[in-house]
A and B are shown apart, each in its own frame.
Chain A
Amino acid sequence: MDDLRRHLIAIGDLDREGIERILETAASFESVQEREVKKVPTLRGRTVVNVFFESSTRTSSSFELAAKRLSADVMSLKASGSSVDKGESLKDTIQTLSAYGPDVVVIRHAAIGAALKTTGYTNAHVVNAGDGKHQHPTQCLLDLYTIREALGRLDGVQVAIVGDVLHSRVARSNIQGLLAVGAQVLLVGPPTLIPRGIEATGVRVSHEIGDIATADVVYVLRMQSERMAEGANYVPSLREYTERWGVTSSRVSPRQIVMHPGPMNRGVEIGADLADSNQSLILRQVQAGLVTRMAVLYDLVTRPYRDTAERPAVEVAA
C-alpha cells in the first residue's frame, strides 16, 4: 500500500498553492506573538519530537518554541548527551523515539537523505530541519515569508544569492522555492563555490559581485569553512573572498533588502555594519521562523495525507 502520509523533506514536496497556504497560516499566527499569553491550544495532546544530530541554535529553538506555542508536547533531543554518542544508528534512534508515538518528528542530520530515511523508520510526519547539503525547507518558507512581508509580493521578485552555494542546503531549498513562486534567482560567487550544472534549475549565474545591483533582495550565504576540506582550495583565502565577494554597505543600495540564514561571519561574507543596518532583515527572519514553523506543524497535522480530497482532514480547534 502506498504511504500517503505527508512529510516536508524538500521544498519541492509543496506546490505553489501549498507554499502560499503555509505562508497564510504563518501570518495568522503572528497575532499569537502579540498576546500576553503567547499560546494557542491548536496541537494540544499532540507530540512533536525534535532530533538534532547536528548543532543548531536557531532552527532547534525555533521548532521547539513553535511546538510549545501550539500547546504540543515537545521532546528535544540533541546528538550530544544522547545514545547517538554511543554509536546508535539513525534508524535505532528514530525507532526508539517513535515508540512513544509522536505525531511529528523534526530531524536535522549531517547526511543527505537522512530525513527521507526517517520516514521509513516512524509513523509520524517527518519535517526535515536540514540534511547535509541537500535541503532545509522550513528555512526556505521563512525566507519567502520574510520577503513577501517586506516587498508585498514574491512573483517577479529578483533575488541574488551570494556566496558558498556549493555547500548550502539553504541555497538549494531557496532556489527551488523562489522559482516555484515566480521569483527570479541570480547566484553570485566564485566558480568553485557554484555547483556545475545548477543553471539547469532555471537560475542565472554570475561571478561578479557588481551584478547584485539589479536585485531586490541580496541573500548572503555563510562561508561554511567547516565544510571545506583542508587543501581543497575552494578559495585561496577568506581575505581574498571578502575582497571580491563580501557583501558590504558600499556594494548594496538602500532600496535593496539584505538577508542571511545565520549564523553570520561578520566581516567575512557580510559587512558588520550592513548586518546591523535598517535594510537587514536578519532578525525578522528569526521571528518569521517561529510562525512559519508553527504553520508547518499545523499544516502536517491537519492535512495528514497527500490525497486530502479522499480522506477528511482531522478537525483541530484553532
Chain B
Amino acid sequence: MVIRGARVIDPASGVDAVLDVEVRDGVIAALGSGLVATAAAEEIDATGLTVLPAFVDPHVHLRTPGQEYKEDLESGTRAGAAGGYCQLLAMPNTVPTIDSRTVLESLFERGERDCVIPTGFLGAISVGLAGAQLTDMYELASCGVAGFTDDGRPVERAGLLRRAFQYARPIALPIALHEEDLTLSRGGHMHEGAVSAELGIGGYPGIAESAMVARDLAIARYEDARVHLQHLSTRGSLEEVARARAAAVRVSCEATPHHLLLTDQAVRSLHGDAKMNPPLASEDDRQALIAAVRDGVVDCIATDHAPHAFEEKDAPFEQAPNGVTGLETAFAAIYGGLVLPGILPLATVLRAMSLAPARAFGLVEPTIAVGRPANLALWDLADRHVVRADRFQSRSANSAFIGREVVGRCHLTIAAGRVAWRLAPVGDPR
C-alpha cells in the first residue's frame, strides 16, 4: 500500500513533511516523494490528509469476559481502530476478574480471534480485586500480562500494596493504581465543590485522590517500585507526582480526555454520561492537568474507555454507573479543544497518546520510520463535526462528548502492519 501525498507528522522520528508512505509486509518500507508502487499495491490519494503515529491506550475496559452486552473484544478494539489506536491494554475488572492463568489464557485465545488491533491485558493485583490476597503474579507474568492493577478500586490496605511492590519487584512490570481513599469518597457521586453544594449531589473531595497518591508514592519510593498512576484528575495529585519525580521515584501517569476538557459544570445536566470515577473536577484542577501534560508531569493520555448500556446510564445520576467511552473521541476532542486553540502542542499530545504509554508498559513504539512495523493512522484534521450517539463502533454510546464539536476524523488505521480501520464512504454511518 502506498499512502500518497499526506502530511506525515511524527515527533518521535522528527518527521513533518508531505510524503508518500509505502507499507509492505507489515513494515514501513519507504518514505519519500513520488514513490513508485508495485503494480498490485493499493494506492490511496491522501492529499490534504495527515498521517500520524497510531495511538496506544494503556487503560480501557473491554468488558470481556462477563459483560459483553456493554462491549466485547471485537467491538472494543474496532472502536479503538476507528479512533486511530494500534494497541490497547484492557483492565482486569471483568466477570470473572482477570486474576488467574485460566481466565487470562482464554482471553488471549479469544483475543487472537476477535481483536482487530493488538490488545494486552493487565492482571489483578489482588484476587477478585478484593484487596486481601495477592494474585499469583509470577504465573500471570509468565502468561503475558502487561502489568498489574485493581483498577476500579484502590488497593485500600497500604500493607498489601507494599507487599505487591516487594513481591513483584523481579517481574519488572508496572503496577497501575486507581487512587481513591474510599473513606473520603464514600457517598460521593461528583467532585465536591460549589456545583455539588448547589445540586445536592454527594461530594467526592479531591483529597480522596491526592491523599492516596501521596501515600502510594511514599510506598513506591520506599520499595523503589515502578508505579503507574491512572486517570489523575486533581491539582493536589499532580503536585505529589512532581514532588516524587524530583525524588527520582519511577512513576508514570495518565490524564483522560474528559478530565482535560470538561469540569464538574457538566454535571448540571444530571446526565449519567457526566459521571465517572474519578469525577470531573474543578476548572482549577483541569488547568493544572493541562499544564501537567504540557510540562510532562503527566506523560500519558489514556481514555479509561468504560462502556455501559444505555439503560444503565439512563438511571438518575446517583444510581448511574461510573464511566464513559473514549476511544473514538479522544484525539478529535483533544485536537479540537486543546491543540487547535494553541493550548497544547500537537507534538506533546502525540507523544502522550502514543510513545509514552508504549514505553510505560514496554509495548511496541509506533514510530513512523523506514523499517519500523506499520502503526499509523490517516486523519482528516479539517473535519469538524458534532459527536453523535448513533455513530459509534463501540457497543455502547455513553460518551461525555455527545453533542459537542470535535475536530479530526480517522480515515484509515494500520495496526501492526494490518489495516484495522477504514472509514466507510460518506453517508454510511458505519
Report the Cα distance A111→B316, complex, angstroms. Answer: 6
Report the Cα distance A167→B317, complex, angstroms. Answer: 16
- Residues A197 and B194 in contact, CB atoms below 8 Å apart: yes
In the complex, per-residue mask of B200-238: 1 if CB is within 8 Å of any chain A CB, else 0: 111101000000000000000000000000000000000
Report the Cα distance A135→B201, complex, angstroms. Answer: 11
- Within 8 Å by CB of A133, from B192, B193, B194, B200, lies B200
- Residues B316 and A112 in contact, CB atoms below 8 Å apart: yes
- Residues A113 and B198 in contact, CB atoms below 8 Å apart: no
- Within 8 Å by CB of B197, from A111, A167, A169, A198, lies A198
Task: Name which residue of chain B comes closest to A172, CB basis.
Answer: B200
- CB-CB < 8 A to A132: which residues of B? 200, 316, 318
Report the Cα distance A218→B200, complex, angstroms. Answer: 22
- CB-CB < 8 A to A135: which residues of B? 200
Report the Cα distance A131→B201, complex, angstroms. Answer: 11
Q: Which of A109, A111, A113, A201 has the largest count of B CB atoms less than 10 A from its CB?
A: A113
- CB-CB < 8 A to B319: which residues of A? 111
Report the Cα distance A111→B205, complex, angstroms. Answer: 21
Task: Please report which residues of chain A, range 170-215, place their CB below 8 angstroms from some CB of chain B when the two chains form the complex.
Answer: 172, 195-201
- Residues B270 and A200 in contact, CB atoms below 8 Å apart: no
Q: Does B405 contact A (CB under 8 A)?
A: no
Report the Cα distance A167→B318, complex, angstroms. Answer: 14
Q: Does B314 contact A (CB under 8 A)?
A: yes
- Interface band, chain B: 20 to 34
Report the Cα distance A201→B194, complex, angstroms. Answer: 8
A130 CB, nearest partner CB in chain B, Å: 11
Report the Cα distance A35→B258, complex, angstroms. Answer: 59
Task: Name which residue of chain B comes closest to A113, CB basis.
Answer: B270
- Residues A111 and B198 in contact, CB atoms below 8 Å apart: no
- Residues A112 and B270 in contact, CB atoms below 8 Å apart: yes
- CB-CB < 8 A to A109: which residues of B? 316
- How many of A's residues come within 8 Å of B, CB to CB? 27
Task: Please report which residues of chain A, range 119-137, place their CB below 8 angstroms from some CB of chain B when the two chains form the complex.
Answer: 131-135
- CB-CB < 8 A to B317: which residues of A? 111-113
Q: Does B149 contact A (CB under 8 A)?
A: no
- Within 8 Å by CB of A196, from B193, B199, B314, lies B193
- Residues B198 and A200 in contact, CB atoms below 8 Å apart: yes
Report the Cα distance A49→B231, complex, angstroms. Answer: 45
Task: Please report which residues of chain B, range 164-215, place their CB below 8 angstroms from some CB of chain A when the two chains form the complex.
Answer: 186-187, 192-203, 205
- Residues B187 and A229 in contact, CB atoms below 8 Å apart: yes
Q: Does A148 contact B (CB under 8 A)?
A: no
Q: Which of A112, A116, A168, A169 has the largest count of B CB atoms less than 10 A from its CB?
A: A112
A227 CB, nearest partner CB in chain B, Å: 10
Task: Please report which residues of chain A, range 97-154, place their CB below 8 angstroms from some CB of chain B when the two chains form the complex.
Answer: 109, 111-114, 116-117, 131-135
Q: Which of B198, B201, B203 has the largest count of A CB atoms less than 10 A from its CB?
A: B198
Q: Which of B193, B195, B205 has the largest count of A CB atoms less than 10 A from its CB?
A: B193
Task: Name which residue of chain B comes closest to A199, CB basis.
Answer: B194
Given contacts A112-B318, A113-B270, A117-B316, is CB(A197)–CB(B193) below 8 Å?
yes
B289 CB, nearest partner CB in chain A, Å: 20
B274 CB, nearest partner CB in chain A, Å: 11
In the complex, per-residue mask of A207-237: 1 if CB is within 8 Å of any chain B CB, else 0: 0000000000000000000000100100000
- CB-CB < 8 A to B202: which residues of A? 133
A315 CB, nearest partner CB in chain B, Å: 35
- Residues A196 and B192 in contact, CB atoms below 8 Å apart: yes
- CB-CB < 8 A to B194: which residues of A? 197-201
Report the Cα distance A75→B51, complex, angstroms. Answer: 63
- Residues B197 and A112 in contact, CB atoms below 8 Å apart: no
Report the Cα distance A111→B199, complex, angstroms. Answer: 12
Q: A111-B315, A198-B198, A199-B194 are in contact. List 5 more A-B contacts (CB 8 A).
A: A113-B316, A169-B200, A200-B197, A201-B197, A229-B187
**CB within 8 Å of A: which residues of B?**
186-187, 192-203, 205, 270, 314-319
What are 23 A-B contacts defined by CB distance under 8 Å?
Answer: A91-B314, A109-B316, A111-B315, A111-B318, A112-B317, A113-B270, A113-B316, A114-B316, A117-B314, A117-B316, A132-B318, A134-B200, A135-B200, A172-B198, A196-B192, A196-B197, A196-B203, A197-B192, A197-B198, A198-B194, A198-B197, A201-B198, A229-B187
What are the nearest 9 A-B pairs in CB distance?
Answer: A133-B200, A111-B316, A200-B194, A195-B197, A113-B270, A197-B194, A198-B197, A197-B197, A113-B316
